[in-house]
Amino acid sequence: MDVLKTTQFHQYHSEHAKLTEFAGYEMPLWYTTTTDEHLAVRNDSGIFDVSHMGRFMFRGGPTASFLEGLVPTQVQKQSVGKEFYTLLLNDRAGIIDDLVILRLGETEFMLVVNAANAGTDMDHIRNRGPPEGVEIEDLTSSSAMVAVQGPKAQKALQPLTDLDLGQLRKFRCSETKVLGQPSIISRTGYTGEDGFEVIILDASNDEPGRATEFWERLTEVSKPCGLGARDSLRLEAGLPLHGLDIDQQTNPLQADLVWVLSPGKTGYAGSEAVSDLRTKTLDVVRRGVIVEQGIPRHGFDVLGGSDSVGKVTSGTFSPILRKGIALCRLRPEGTEPGTRVRVVIRDSAQDGQTVKPPFYDERQYGWKRQGNGN
């Protein structure tokens, strides 16, 4: 049996949380309850240890042009200090992974990838043949990463960093210091809420520097949250999870991620397949569904009338709606948002309706809410 990897904050987790295995790491599932942690993020602020996520640094003159051929989103036109969401595609346009890229300098970029896909992603990147002059460094084990999320995230984080967080706009990043330690802060997250992701550099398990102090200081003002709340929050926001909602058999059009495909861009991995797909009729598409009773789960059938129109890819209970919600892969025709459907839960077809996520009212929750708590 393989020994599970741990993060810099494992001792705290082992003392306070219910632990679980995820992507080869022993991680906190919850500290109190998933609902309690979920609502803390929606109404106040919560923190997540996301140090298990892959962090790859790219440096060198040809880096921007190399990355340009790797992803379907324009890279060289991104300004320094910009962060953007994109995809790694295989030759059939299947989604190898979804990721974010931070442009830290003219020739310096960081890729943050899903923990479960980090090895596959690195193999894919190296198989694309980085040109001479491109240096790739895996910083996953030598850095720590914490997400501070919620309407009061800025208030919680500001005392611990030199950076004026009020000047950092959505999907922007900056190199700075956290408790005096070199770090990178971006205004991003995986919850739908306003918030920040903090990468503390030079912070390994053996020599974490001030990373553990940073975590402990945050626990005084923000609720520690586990993987359970992270999943329910991202699902409530309508954000896909690779391996469930999207995978290498799913293309960007089916995944409702066509917006990451920069118009007119060609020459990237999977671009020929994407061009071909644009000429064909879409067979399935990602949609949201709310059910009146029960909790939908991965693999459950979705019915339109008596016929199957697709399946649930991931589902949960929404603490905001107090109902079951799901992301689904459905037949496009006859499942437009607002369509009545049924989801088969425990051999019983429960009434539901298709919606366009997020599942909450954006006037009250999420980073677009009217006013904020910071």
Residue-wise pLDDT tens digits, 114-142: 999 999 999 999 999 999 999 999 999 99
Q: Pick the range with the lowest mean pLDDT from 40-49, 135-144, 363-372.
A: 363-372
Contact by Cβ (8 Å): 215, 12: yes
Which pLDDT score, from 0 to 100, does residue 374 have?
Answer: 52
> Residues 357-365: what's their mean pLDDT?
97
Closest-CA residue to 302 (of 338, 322, 329, 333): 329
Which pLDDT score, from 0 to 100, does residue 370 have?
Answer: 76
Q: Is the model's pLDDT at 1 over the cut of 70?
A: no
DSSP state of 166: G
pLDDT tens string 250-291: 999 999 999 999 999 999 999 999 999 999 999 999 999 999
User: Structural domain boundaries of the chain?
Assistant: 1-250+263-273, 281-374
> Residues 96-114: what's their mean pLDDT?
98
DSSP state of 41: H
In the chain, beta strands by DSSP E: 18-22, 25-30, 46-49, 54-59, 83-89, 95-105, 108-113, 135-138, 144-149, 173-178, 181-186, 195-200, 223-225, 285-291, 301-304, 307-318, 323-330, 340-345, 348-355
Contact by Cβ (8 Å): 92, 30: no
Closest-CA residue to 185 (of 202, 208, 169): 169
Q: Is the model's pLDDT at 177 over the cut of 90?
A: yes
Q: Is the model's pLDDT at 373 over the cut of 60?
A: no
Rounded distance, CA 155 to CA 142, Å?
A: 28
Rounded distance, CA 172 to CA 134, Å?
A: 24
Q: Pick the range with the lowest mean pLDDT from 101-115, 146-160, 190-204, 357-371.
A: 357-371
Q: Which of the four pLDDT bands, split at 50, 70 and 90, describes residue 371?
A: low
> Residues 97-119: what's their mean pLDDT?
98
Q: Does domain 1-250+263-273 have CATH number 3.30.1360.120?
A: yes
Rounded distance, CA 345 to CA 356, Å?
A: 21
> Residues 293-314: what's their mean pLDDT?
97
Which pLDDT score, from 0 to 100, does residue 134 have?
Answer: 98
Which pLDDT score, from 0 to 100, does residue 372 have?
Answer: 55
- What token pair was written down for 266? 């060609």
Q: Is the model's pLDDT at 22 over the cut of 70?
A: yes
Q: Which of the four pLDDT bands, split at 50, 70 and 90, describes residue 2?
A: confident
> Residues 213-221: what's their mean pLDDT?
98
Rounded distance, CA 48 to CA 53, Å?
A: 12
Rounded distance, CA 278 to CA 275, Å?
A: 5
Which pLDDT score, from 0 to 100, does residue 355 have?
Answer: 98
Which pLDDT score, from 0 to 100, does residue 38 have?
Answer: 98
| CATH no. for 281-374 | 2.40.30.110
Q: Is the model's pLDDT at 40 over the cut of 60?
A: yes
pLDDT tens string 48-100: 999 999 999 999 999 999 999 999 999 999 999 999 999 999 999 999 999 99
